[in-house]
Amino acid sequence: MARPGHSAWFLLVSTATLLLASGASAQGSCANATFPAGRSFARCSTLPVLGASLYWNYHAANGTAELAFRAPSATGGWVAWGINTDGTGMAGSSVFVASQSANGAVSVLMTVLESFSPSLKNGTLKFDVPVGPSAEYGGGTYTMYATVALPGNATQQNTVWQAGPLSGGAVSPHPMSGNNLKSVLRLDFLSG
Ligand SMILES: *[C@@H]1O[C@H](CO)[C@@H](O)[C@H](O)[C@H]1NC(C)=O
Ligand SMILES: *[C@@H]1O[C@H](CO)[C@@H](O)[C@H](O)[C@H]1NC(C)=O
Ligand SMILES: *[C@@H]1O[C@H](CO)[C@@H](O)[C@H](O)[C@H]1NC(C)=O
Ligand SMILES: *[C@@H]1O[C@H](CO)[C@@H](O)[C@H](O)[C@H]1NC(C)=O
């Protein structure tokens, strides 16, 4: 995958209004989502922007959550979801980024967004990922899966998500206005 340019390209949120996901979200449009055989999720949250939803099973005994993140995209686009262990917004976030090649092969990279001009180096995150990521694309929608150890064994986390275009197969900057700057949520993994 080619490296992105050095412009600020990802999620830039300086004064984000953090919302706490409410228990009511399970009654929203995420509730009836279907998944391939062998995957099911007890909780979900319809995220406030970008048409995205998060689904999970939270295991208090070991502090892990099995996740599915689902968001619409053109074939020539990428989607991302992650947790910011250091604050809010883009910088410092540990993210999963799903994209696809011209032949439709979907892959996921894990990276820490070290700045607003991140290297997108495929590596490790600031929390454990006991079950590494995978993703699928169909019907104009990406679905990414992974199991994460919630940082600090805390059920409330600053989550981020994003969507943008691919250019020559490489992740390119997302729009720097509108809903792309509102895609942050302090999520309670005990809700949904
Ligand atoms: C989910 O499906 C049930 C049963 O078909 C239906 O009653 C309910 O309205 C649906 N909920 C949503 C959010 O679509
Ligand atoms: C996480 O916290 C729960 C209590 O909420 C506790 O029962 C559990 O042992 C902790 N797990 C880890 C891995 O620290
Ligand atoms: C990132 O590395 C993992 C593990 O080697 C690999 O499975 C995955 O396809 C890589 N992601 C990308 C986008 O290259
Ligand atoms: C965490 O606990 C759940 C429930 O017991 C189990 O299904 C899952 O495999 C465990 N995950 C890890 C990474 O140990």
pLDDT digits (tens, 9 = 90+) for 70-125: 999 999 999 999 999 999 989 999 999 999 999 999 999 999 999 888 999 999 99
User: Residue 45: CB partners within 8 Å, gap ≥ 6?
Assistant: 21, 25, 26, 28, 30, 53, 54, 185, 187, 191, 192
Q: What percent of the chain has pLDDT over 90?
A: 81
For residue 34 the two structure tokens come to: 């279907």
Using the atom order of ligand 1, give the atom closest to the CA of residue 28: 13
CA distances in angstroms from 118 to 10, 27, 88, listed in the order given: 8, 36, 16
Residue whose tokens read 């228990």? 23
Sign of the Cα torsion 155, 158, 164, 170 reads negative
Testing ligand 3's pocket by substitution, the residue of 78, 99, 109 carrying the most ligand atoms inside 8 A of its CB is 109
Kindly report the protein residue whose alpha carbon is nearest to atom 6 of ligand 2.
61
Q: Which pTM value belongs to this model?
A: 0.87
Residue 165, judged by CB atoms within 10 A of its CB (0-12, 13-18, 19+), counts as middle
62 lines ligand 4 (CB under 6 A): yes
Q: Which CATH architecture has domain 40-188?
A: Sandwich (2.60)
Neighbours of 2 (CB within 10 A): 11
So what's the pLDDT on residue 17? Answer: 36
